């Protein structure tokens, strides 16, 4: 079988390579796309390449149909000019009202009211108010903008801002001041009157840092190559680069020595510097932090959240012809390796956690650190307990649906998998985890069944996804506060205790229980490097349950929770028989 021209062979794999059409190179930000087909089989490579060729053609069609940010800005600026011109024409002959009143007074009053309304919209960021205007423009100009798309949302926002400008100028005109000119966006001269068309391609050897960053981030968003939370890291890191060098600095002019200076600057910045020192420049922040003796960013943070991103950005710039070399290549912070980045909980610390007011009775659902008679039974109660007996990652638990808590071969289990809008860290993280006997005794099955009777869909319906796209964003911060309140800030920071510490604690408990290493990997979601792992279906639910049940924390006291669980249970039985589903 002959290999198509868009398939190339390299030692590690066949690759799909397609040239970006000339008219789209500036918008896509590349001259060609290259993707590994992840196979050394010629026939399989051909099949996968044909599928990618079809998807690539669809991508080109979508890119041609979509409007760029600059085109949308030009369109809104054009609309604003047309509205202001229409306002001038209406002033040529304001006429007279039928009741003899002066219509100019009513028009001026209406302009003031409209201005107050759109200013309030802008203050509240309620861009949905621009929906009717957006629909009108889409219909008027026959635009191909899908409702709910990023282009549609941008159009709504810009129309809201343009409305502020429109009614502000109209109000000024009623005061006799006609000199005001709209300054909605920093467009080139005459942009508001030009027809909407694709912008001229930028000179690939002289692209500004600001334009390059926008293209790079835009491409990542369109292709979905990075998760939302990681995309936020990209934006924050690249803004540091833009602030340091200036937005108009050509991408290709930055050298390795200059990136070394950025690396040195990063080693002087404290954690959360953007929140602690709002409005200050990076150099000033570094100097102030040094004077106050504040701790600096960790080497791992600098490497993964800054330098690795710069490496990816400049590598992309080289592939686009915007730079000759990658100045960030090899620029890293050397760090001392340590066996574990997170600590493990002692039994005394586990007892302190389950003896906190959250578990013994608190003042109210919002005052969980003060003793009282309120019994909280939401994610705050269950997440630490489930983590203590499964070692599951926090996000894996936070995103569980009720349908993921199921009976398999007569055993109650969690089904942890990256399906739909759920994500897992690796393929090995897709796994079946039985409920530990202690979770049965604590009433977890009864909690699940009560939620089902209420018609809920999620195991923890009160949890909402954060800005980074992860359900664990807010619970992570809550548990950090809970640990500091319960164990003390000094202990937590000295021993590096976080929710992930349950994972390390469970791993140690598995070793103590004599559980086979391969079974440990299967239960906790680690990659099994043994060659036999690729054969067969793996361990069944009953075998997993038998092994997981061996986990035991000697002297851990949960007795005060058993009586509460017994009163909570309405459909499940107590005792060993309840560990297996009927």
Alpha carbon dihedral 479, 485, 486, 491, in 10-degree steps, equals: 90
What pLDDT is recorded for position 64? 59
- Residue 304 DSSP class: I
Strands (E) located in 307-347: none
**Which residue bears the tokens 């009513």?**
106
CATH of domain 347-530+537-579: 1.10.443
CA distance linking residue 230 with residue 237, whole number of Å: 11
pTM to 2 decimals?
0.53
Q: Give just the sign of the alpha carbon dihedral 410, 411, 413, 418.
A: negative
State the first-to-last Cα distance of the chain, in angstroms, to the nearest integer.
Answer: 56
| Token couple for 563 | 């009586």
Instruction: Give the domain ranges of the chain.
Output: 7-23+32-62, 69-187, 209-320, 347-530+537-579
> In 3-state terms, what secondary structure has residue 197?
coil
Residue 403 buriedness (CB in 10 A; 0-12 / 13-18 / 19+): exposed
What's the Cα-to-Cα distance from 377 to each of 67, 357, 367, 500, 579, rounded to whole Å?
49, 12, 14, 21, 21
* pLDDT score for 19: 82
Q: 10 Å Cβ neighbour count for 107? A: 17
- pLDDT score at 200: 37
8 A C-beta contact, residue 371 and residue 362 = yes
Could you tell me if residue 471 is left (phi over 0), alpha (psi between -120 and 50 degrees) or otherwise beta? alpha
| Distance between CA atoms of residues 328 and 313, nearest Å | 9
Residue 327 and residue 261: Cα distance in Å, rounded? 12
Q: What tokens were used for 404?
A: 């993921």
Say what the pLDDT of residue 61 is: 67
Reading the chain (582 residues) residue by residue, the pLDDT tens digits are 444 457 888 777 888 888 887 766 666 667 778 888 888 887 778 878 888 887 887 777 666 556 677 778 888 888 888 888 888 887 776 654 444 445 565 666 777 778 888 888 888 888 888 888 888 887 776 666 777 777 788 888 888 888 888 888 888 887 777 765 555 554 333 333 344 443 333 444 578 899 999 988 888 887 766 777 888 889 989 988 888 888 888 888 888 888 888 888 888 888 888 777 777 777 888 888 888 888 888 888 888 889 989 998 998 888 877 888 888 888 888 765 554 578 999 999 999 999 999 999 999 998 999 999 999 999 999 999 999 999 999 999 999 999 999 999 999 999 999 888 888 888 888 999 999 999 999 999 999 999 999 999 999 999 988 877 788 889 999 999 999 999 999 999 899 999 999 999 999 999 999 999 989 999 998 876 654 454 556 789 999 999 999 999 999 999 999 866 665 554 343 333 344 443
pLDDT of residue 426: 82
- Return phi, psi of residue 8, to 5°: -120, 150
């Amino acid at each position: 079988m002959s290999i198509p021209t868009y398939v190339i062979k390299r030692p590690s794999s066949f690759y799909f390579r397609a040239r970006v059409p000339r008219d789209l190179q500036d918008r896509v930000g590349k001259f060609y796309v290259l993707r590994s087909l992840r196979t050394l089989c010629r026939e399989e490579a051909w099949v996968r390449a044909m599928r990618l060729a079809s998807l690539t053609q669809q991508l080109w069609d979508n890119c041609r149909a979509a409007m760029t940010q600059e085109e949308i800005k030009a369109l809104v600026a054009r609309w604003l000019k047309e509205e202001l011109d229409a306002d001038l024409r209406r002033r040529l002959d304001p006429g007279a009202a039928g009741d003899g009143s002066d219509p100019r007074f009513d028009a001026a009053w209406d302009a003031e009211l409209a201005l107050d309304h759109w200013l309030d919209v802008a203050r509240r960021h309620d861009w949905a108010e621009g929906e009717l205007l957006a629909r009108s423009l889409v219909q008027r100009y026959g635009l191909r903008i899908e409702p709910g798309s990023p282009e549609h949302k941008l159009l709504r926002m810009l129309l809201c801002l343009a409305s502020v400008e429109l009614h502000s100028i109209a109000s000024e005109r009623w005061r006799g001041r006609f000199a005001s000119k709209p300054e909605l966006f920093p467009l080139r001269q005459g942009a508001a009157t030009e027809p909407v068309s694709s912008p001229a391609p930028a000179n690939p050897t002289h692209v500004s840092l600001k334009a390059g960053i926008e293209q790079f981030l835009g491409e990542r968003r369109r292709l979905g190559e990075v998760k939302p939370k990681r995309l936020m890291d990209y934006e924050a890191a690249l803004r540091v680069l833009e602030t340091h060098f200036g937005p108009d600095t050509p991408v290709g002019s930055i050298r390795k020595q200059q990136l070394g200076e950025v690396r040195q600057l990063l080693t002087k910045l404290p954690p959360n510097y953007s929140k602690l020192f709002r409005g200050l420049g990076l150099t000033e922040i570094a100097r102030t932090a040094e004077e106050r003796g504040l701790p600096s960013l960790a080497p791992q943070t600098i490497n993964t959240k800054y330098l690795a991103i710069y490496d990816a950005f400049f590598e992309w710039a080289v592939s686009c012809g915007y730079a000759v070399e990658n100045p960030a290549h090899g620029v890293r912070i050397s760090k001392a390796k340590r066996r574990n980045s997170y600590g493990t909980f002692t039994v005394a610390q586990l007892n302190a956690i389950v003896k906190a007011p959250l578990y013994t009775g608190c003042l109210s659902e919002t005052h969980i650190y003060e003793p009282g008679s309120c019994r909280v039974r939401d994610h705050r109660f269950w997440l630490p307990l489930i983590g203590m007996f499964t070692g599951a990652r926090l996000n894996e638990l936070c995103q569980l649906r009720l349908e993921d808590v199921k009976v398999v071969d007569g055993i109650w289990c969690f089904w942890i998998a990256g399906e739909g809008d759920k994500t897992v860290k690796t393929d090995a993280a897709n796994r079946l985890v039985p409920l530990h006997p202690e979770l049965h005794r604590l009433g977890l099955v009864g909690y699940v069944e009560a939620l089902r009777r209420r018609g809920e869909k999620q195991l923890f319906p009160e949890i909402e996804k954060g800005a980074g796209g992860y359900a664990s964003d807010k619970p992570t911060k809550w548990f950090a506060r809970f640990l500091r309140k319960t164990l003390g800030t000094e202990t937590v920071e000295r021993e590096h205790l976080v929710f992930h510490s349950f994972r390390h604690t469970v791993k140690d408990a598995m070793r103590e229980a004599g559980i086979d290493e391969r079974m440990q990997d299967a239960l906790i979601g680690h990659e099994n490097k043994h060659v036999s792992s690729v054969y067969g279906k793996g361990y069944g639910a009953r075998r997993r349950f038998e092994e997981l049940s061996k986990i035991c924390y000697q002297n851990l006291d949960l007795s005060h929770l058993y009586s509460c669980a017994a009163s909570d249970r309405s459909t499940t039985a107590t005792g060993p028989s309840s560990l297996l589903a009927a």
